[in-house]
Amino acid sequence: MRLTTLFLLLAATLTAQAAPVQLEPLPVILPPPGMVDAASEPQVSIVQRGPDRTEEFRVRGKLYMIKVTPPHGTPYFLIDPIGNGQFQRMNEITPNLMVPLWVLFSF
């Protein structure tokens, strides 16, 4: 019984070492042209206004959020939820508060 178990273990280790698998790298698949728009990436500008540090977030040149970090205190956010230029102050951003607002059509 011990001899057959030893023989099986020896055979399994020899077959595992005998044939190394040659792996080929996967080809790089690029997205179709026009699918990735570099202009839709958010641009962040960090500006020091007096003692406050502000971070301005823009998409396609349109300002949609400002993060203000005062030297003493907690940071707060100014968010334009509709896109009409009227900012609302929020002390924190939570996922259940932010409703996705996608632009379906623009003229």
What tens digit of pLDDT does each residue of 1-18 get?
677 787 777 666 655 555
Q: What confidence tens digit (pLDDT) does each residue in 36-66 have?
A: 666 677 889 999 988 889 999 998 888 989 9
- Tokens, residue 33: 């042209």
Domain 41-90 fold? S-adenosyl-L-methionine-dependent methyltransferases (2.20.130)
pTM check: above 0.75: no
Strands of 1-107, DSSP E: 43-49, 52-59, 62-69, 76-79, 88-90
Q: Where are the domains of the chain?
A: 41-90
Beta carbons within 10 angstroms of residue 65's beta carbon: 19
